[in-house]
Homo-oligomer: A and B are copies of this chain.
């Protein structure tokens, strides 16, 4: 298919597709039996764009997604780097999901508190604590 159709089907702009392509996230060929310069995209490009969307939601940068796509398509070795990369991403994404969920709870609690005491403000909310469990050594250097 051509870029316009892909754009419609994946719900992204043509410019975005071109941007991704420049960054190696997606590929296209030129129809050899046409003498124009129109690029042709495979069917699975739609899927690829959806994966890119998810990957971005998960916090990966374009550069990282490019690597992932490369890994995904890879045929040759470099298995070690690949494994390591994937492991790192898994850790990061997991962490992000945890933080997001924590924040989601906070949103819900805030909303509930607000519903409970509309004009009163929500000073009592102060009790809602995040529960990080990581940093914060109690004193200065």
In the complex, the chain B residue whose C-beta lies closest to that of A95 is B57
Number of interface residues of A (CB under 8 A): 76
Contact A137 B100, beta carbon cutoff 8 Å: no
Copies of this chain, whole number: 2
Contacts of A94 in B (CB 8 A): 104
Contact A8 B121, beta carbon cutoff 8 Å: no
The answer to the question of A97 belonging to the interface, with a C-beta cut-off of 8 Å to chain B, is yes
Q: In terms of DSSP, what is the predominant structure of the interface of chain A?
A: helix
The answer to the question of A32 belonging to the interface, with a C-beta cut-off of 8 Å to chain B, is no
Contact A97 B99, beta carbon cutoff 8 Å: no
Contact B12 A123, beta carbon cutoff 8 Å: no
CB-CB under 8 A for A11 and B138, given A74-B121, A90-B107, A100-B97: yes
